[in-house]
Structure 1
Amino acid sequence: MAASSTKSGHLSEPKSLQVWEHASTKGCFFLEEDGGIVSLQYRLHIPVTSTVFITIRPLNLNQEDEKPSSWMTVDTALFVVTGNKTKEDSNLVCFTEQRDKEKFGWKGELSAGTYYILPFTTGCRLKRKRTPVAKTAQLVYRTDAGELALTKEFRAALSDIFEVIDLDGNGLLSLEEYNFFEQRTSGEKCDEDAWAVCRENFDTKKNELTRQGFMELNLMEANDREGDPTDLWVTLESMGYNRALEMVEACPFVIDVYSEDVKPTVQPVNLESGSKILNTALHRSVISKGEAKVIKGHDNVIIHNYRSEARISSVVTNKSSHKVTVHVNNEQSKNCISSRGMSVFAVEVPARAKMVCQHVVPINEKQEWTYHCVESIVS
């Protein structure tokens, strides 16, 4: 299905990229309560076989400031798979192994057809922040006339949220885009009738909600609760904000798909956490591209290690007929951070199953990092 023309290493753009056909979309990694990570997944359609260049990078929302957004160091990746409508039986086509600063990409030939694009981050740098904030931000206030208004800080946060959920970047929110936001924040969806009411009451353009309309919608929610900000905080926290209005538990990103011969189309399809299809793709990438080693004294338990410039991922394959507990020790590693959040831990792997053991990235990218891991079976 795919023929990659490049190996792991530095990402370089095709020379004539500016004349290639281009499709772009945005998305966001969100941290769940249990520490899992959820993100939109996408459908990619390539009408005829073509050379394709696919990239993902974190989205910097601080364009005016000198200081980049805090999540710009979060590692990102894309897995491209084929699959039927149930997506249970998917095949890994390719994944982004090359890198240029915070951008990760893949270039190669894709056959005509429909694919799924699955964004991924290791979770090493996107972690739950337990530190309490010094002061809770104010979201609304009463004007001299006694009317409710949104504070400047809350308006700035809403403007950034608008930027993140405006997936096609046209400066407007379609019903589909708004519904991905609703699904994330309330678990519900807005139907056509409710959307028609939105269009009547708030600022819209071409049947889509403007940034101003999005502000008005949030002000109406504040008015409905007579200024009680509880529900507004639920929305903000589900979008990754802390009580100081800093986005600390989310990482917005941009996906670009370039095709040499034909216009590609990219559509968001669903918001999934702990997706089975992504797990399968991850396992296959590590096993096909990584090095395998048998755990001493246990021929049926194999550790697969995949190394790239940006990350190390390891998967345990348990071929035995009983579950095993693998003890993992990273204490000899230097300048490394594990997705497990600990240097010593244990992983329970069911019989005849595969499981991600850990992902590892450098703490400081500018310094050397040494990965040294010892695995053993707990009997």
Structure 2
Amino acid sequence: MAISPGKSTFSEESRTKKFPLTEEEIFIRIVELPTNCLQKQFRNIVSKDQLYLALQHAGRNPSQKTINKYWTPQTTKLNFDDFCIILRKEKPTSKSELLKSFKQLDINDDGSILHTDLYKFLTKRGEKMTREEVNAIIDLADVNADGKFDYIKFCKLYMTTNEQCLKTTLEKLEADSKLSRHQFGSHIKGSPERDPSPVPKSSPRVIRKTDQETLSSKGDIRSSLLSTNRKFKTSVFFTITMGANSNRNSKLTEPNLIKDWQCIQSKGCFFLEEDGEIISHQYRMQIAQRSMVYLTIKPLHLSQVEGKPSPWLSVDTALYILKENENQANLQLMCFTELQNREVFGWTGELGPGIYWLIPSTTGCRLRKEVKPITEEAQLVYRDETGELFLTKEFRSALSNIFEVIDLDGNGHLSLEEYNFFELRTSGEKCDEDAWAVCRENFDTKKNELTKQGFMDLNLMEANDREGDPRDLWVTLHSMGYNKALELTAACPFVIDIYAEKCKPRIKAVHMEPCSGQLEKAICKSVLNKGDAKLMDGYENIIIHTYNYNTWITSVIENKSDDKVIIHINNELSINCINNRGLDVFAVEVAPKSTMVCQHVMPLNEQQEWIYYCIYSLIS
């Protein structure tokens, strides 16, 4: 592992100049703009004309040949990732390129071209322009006189017009969006059409190299460069190189004589919401006396269809332990399960008597919305020859797994508290004592708890109540993370084991909440305590903290100033990496006197080396 020192990546000149912007600055500012003003416009490009306009708005003047290169007869839609790749390949025309191209037609080397020569060139070479299009250029009074086209004046006019259009566009963008979102540019939320893979992949239609065509393109000098007049004040970067299978270098070992320790177990689940937010159970743990404690968390193994991968088993898990002092609002971070042995994360240490909160965490790098076509929707119910309704084998298997997940204490039965976690997740309402009494009367129970058979019969009754209509059953399945093929793709069940040497620990699930709030504070504190900190040059109140957990890397931004700041993050030079934001380039707003988790990064392929290279830039 190597960590390179941070430094400013942009010269003082590039930080102070207003126009023109460099190619990289223009692209970064296009991508960092807020979702509602840029990506909403370019998220779904469904025609050639829309692609042409989008490229013009982004400061390009594409020829029809260029458009045809990216919009083939097989193309039906381009998403925002495709659009960004095209921007990378189709560089904006510079003044020097224009001058060089025009100079080839300047026979007398006097800065002008005869109208007759210009007309022949534009209508007979390359992508031919129409007579009307050429006349529009020749009719420009400022650059034409005595039958000649003054291309030096034209180039100056072209660049000046672009800069003026840039300013006008930015004023409109500022009016449309106040940049008040916590994260800019995250087009995952509400974008089911987006390629679900963690790293944007280029479409086959945009992988070919392009050649810059200046005079052969139908340039419109009124096209605007859609960028921002903001500039980077300063930047720092981090580089961390990790070897293949670095997470296999385990330090987690069970304490000696652990078989003599007292143990308790609880299960739970991470649920991925439609907007990308992750919700999880949270727990209170009681330790009666000072004791050595060993805690672990890992994905829960469930019965699986042979030959089918189980995506949740590769999801990273962690557990933060906070001590309750006086009240629930005053929690002190004690430790977290940093050590690893394969999929198990754990911690060993001494804890004093008291109440502790256990807050599960996952980075979100691997628990992601999976948007893929379902070739055939699974059947949930069927009728036999007598017309009686039954649950299909596949649906019963899914219900069996759901039962295993919501049976938090693992005793094979559902208590009212356990069942209510299920009800809150699937319907948003709790089952009261009276309703629970009716449930016990009608379905199989043991010691006032619902058995697995009773749970199955309860779902069958719901199907019968709807006369076999499976829509309500699908609501339940989707809420629990299943797709239409009955695959568990939007949830990760886990199991927590707690061993104590001198007393029997107690644990109880008390909430099911978003993985934010106290968890965000805990992650920030752990990274600030253990991470590598770098100050923004000239802005010592803005600090970037990065910590390598061996399996993943987390960065936290600390803003000690009295003003909010906007930090631009660029991961484009990272290799074999995925992050929880789903974007290589984005920006975040950090409130005054606050800290925030910026991103988590993991290897895309654990079997290969991965290199984290990230530039953090302060935007003025």
Match of 2:293 in 1: 52
Question: Structure 1 residue 258: deviation in Å?
Answer: 0.4
- Scaled by the length of structure 1, what TM-score is found? 0.95
CA distance in 1, matches of 2:415, 2:306: 29
1:264-317, CA deviations, whole angstroms, 9 ceiling, x for partnerless residues?
A: 111111111144111111111111111111123322211111111111111101
Residues 62 and 69 of structure 1 are in contact (CA less than 8 Å); yes or no, is this contact kept in structure 2? no
Matches within 5 A, 1:159-198: 159-198=400-439
The structure in which a higher percent of residues are strand is: 1
Match of 1:219 in 2: 460
Match of 1:328 in 2: 569
2:330 to 89, 92, 96: 89
2:502 to 261, 265, 275: 261
Runs of 4+ deviating beyond 4 Å: 63-68
CA distance in 2, matches of 1:338, 1:297: 29
1:14-35, CA deviations, whole angstroms, 9 ceiling, x for partnerless residues?
A: 1211111101010000001210
1:326-347, CA deviations, whole angstroms, 9 ceiling, x for partnerless residues?
A: 1111112111111111111111
Alignment gaps of 5+ in structure 2: 1-248
Residues 302 and 316 of structure 1 are in contact (CA less than 8 Å); yes or no, is this contact kept in structure 2? yes
Question: Comparing 321-330 with 65-74, which one deviates more in the overlay?
Answer: 65-74
- Which structure has the higher relative contact order (CA within 8 Å, separation 6+)? 1
Residues 570 and 614 of structure 2 are in contact (CA less than 8 Å); yes or no, is this contact kept in structure 1? yes
CA distance in 2, matches of 1:360, 1:35: 16
Match of 2:344 in 1: 103
Residues 250 and 342 of structure 2 are in contact (CA less than 8 Å); yes or no, is this contact kept in structure 1? no
Question: Structure 1 residue 363: deviation in Å?
Answer: 1.1
Matches within 5 A, 1:137-286: 137-286=378-527
Does 2:604 match 1:363?
Answer: yes
Question: Could you tell me which amino acid in structure 1 is paired with residue 356 of structure 2?
Answer: Y
CA distance in 2, matches of 1:69, 1:274: 23
Alignment gaps of 5+ in structure 1: 1-7
Question: Comparing 71-80 with 124-133, which one deviates more in the overlay?
Answer: 124-133
Change (3 A) 1:221 1:86: farther
Match of 1:4 in 2: none
Question: Structure 1 residue 222: deviation in Å?
Answer: 0.9
Matches within 5 A, 1:280-319: 280-319=521-560
Match of 1:5 in 2: none
Instruction: Provide the secondary structure at the position in 2 that maps to 1:371.
Output: strand
Matches within 5 A, 1:69-88: 69-83=310-324, 87-88=328-329
CA distance in 2, matches of 1:165, 1:86: 28
Does 2:131 match 1:131?
Answer: no
How many residue pairs match? The answer is 372
Question: Structure 1 residue 220: deviation in Å?
Answer: 0.7
**Structure exhibiting the larger radius of gyration computed from Cα positions:** 2
1:100-137, CA deviations, whole angstroms, 9 ceiling, x for partnerless residues?
A: 00000000000011100000000000011122311111
Question: Structure 1 residue 67: deviation in Å?
Answer: 6.1
Match of 1:35 in 2: 276
CA distance in 1, matches of 2:405, 2:535: 44
The structure in which a higher percent of residues are helix is: 2
- Scaled by the length of structure 2, what TM-score is found? 0.59
Residues 87 and 277 of structure 1 are in contact (CA less than 8 Å); yes or no, is this contact kept in structure 2? no
CA distance in 2, matches of 1:247, 1:291: 37
CA distance in 2, matches of 1:261, 1:183: 36
Residues 296 and 376 of structure 1 are in contact (CA less than 8 Å); yes or no, is this contact kept in structure 2? no
1:217-247, CA deviations, whole angstroms, 9 ceiling, x for partnerless residues?
A: 0011111111111111111001000011000
CA distance in 1, matches of 2:315, 2:344: 10
Residues 9 and 97 of structure 1 are in contact (CA less than 8 Å); yes or no, is this contact kept in structure 2? no
Change (3 A) 1:337 1:277: same
Question: How big is the alpha-carbon RMSD for the aligned residues of Structure 1 and Structure 2?
Answer: 1.5
Question: Structure 1 residue 370: deviation in Å?
Answer: 1.2
Question: Structure 1 residue 84: deviation in Å?
Answer: 5.0
Residues 559 and 594 of structure 2 are in contact (CA less than 8 Å); yes or no, is this contact kept in structure 1? yes
Change (3 A) 1:218 1:271: same
Does 2:352 match 1:352?
Answer: no
